[in-house]
Amino acid sequence: MTARSSQISVDTPDATEAWAWPLDPTAVICCAAGLPDAARDALEAAGRNYPDEALCRAHLARAQDLAPDHPAVLIGFYRFHFYGGRLRETLAVGLRCLDWAAKAANLQPDWRAVRPGDAPFGDFAAALPRFYLFCLKGCGYLNLRLGEPAAGQAMLEKLAELDPGDKLGGRVLLQVVERQGRDDDD
């Protein structure tokens, strides 16, 4: 799978509709602002029923129907797939999160074109740029786990460019990539 995928599994949210989100991205990302109560209930039910994959998936699908592109729903699907060991599906959702964050922050849609001055990436209080960086880190990590080291490394190098102070801890993943193939004695 490439670092940017247009293929989204049927089990992941579809971005065919936009939901109305408040102007405060921190409230959206951190507190699920703008999420309809019924979607919140569906996400909570998915969490309570996580051991039952089919029931959990049904609750997530209900949340998706009610708020298809809300970050809380995307994060719910991300966790569902990640903790279920479905890394390809997790990456697809992670890329959707990255796309959402780019759009919400008025960044270039292609993460490769994003530059350090495009958003306050160094401001830890700026939730939207931080969410973007977390998405980039997660997608880079997932590419590494899926055997796509070039894609993973490119994303992690972009993370390092946007987060030169390494507040998100992406450099350790780059060090792992750099060590691959070398003997322990090197």
Q: Where are the alpha helices (DSSP H) in 125-181?
A: 127-145, 149-162, 171-179
Last residue within a domain, chosen from 59, 85, 111: 85
Q: Are 65 and 144 within one domain?
A: no
159 within some domain? yes
Q: Are 79 and 68 within one domain?
A: yes
8 within some domain? no
42 within some domain? yes
Q: Are 71 and 94 within one domain?
A: no
Q: Are 142 and 94 within one domain?
A: yes
- Say how many domains are in the chain: 2
Q: Are 91 and 168 within one domain?
A: yes
**Residue 97 host element (H or E):** helix 87-104
Residue-wise pLDDT for 131-186, tens only, equals 999 999 999 999 999 999 999 999 999 999 999 999 999 999 999 888 886 755 55
Last residue within a domain, chosen from 33, 62, 85: 85
- Domain of residue 79: give its range: 22-85
| Residue 178: predicted pLDDT | 87
Interatomic CA distance for residues 99 and 73, integer angstroms: 14
Taking a C-beta distance cutoff of 8 angstroms, is the pair 139, 95 a contact? Answer: yes
CA distances (Å), origin 123, targets 83, 109, 162, 184: 30, 21, 11, 37
69 pLDDT higher than 70: yes
DSSP 45: H
| Residue 117: predicted pLDDT | 96
10 within some domain? no
73 within some domain? yes
Q: Are 69 and 97 within one domain?
A: no
Q: Are 80 and 101 within one domain?
A: no
118 within some domain? yes
Taking a C-beta distance cutoff of 8 angstroms, is the pair 4, 111 a contact? Answer: yes
Residue-wise pLDDT for 7-48, tens only, equals 223 343 444 344 444 546 665 666 677 789 999 999 999 999
Taking a C-beta distance cutoff of 8 angstroms, is the pair 77, 95 a contact? Answer: no
| Residue 81: predicted pLDDT | 96
- pTM, full prediction: 0.82
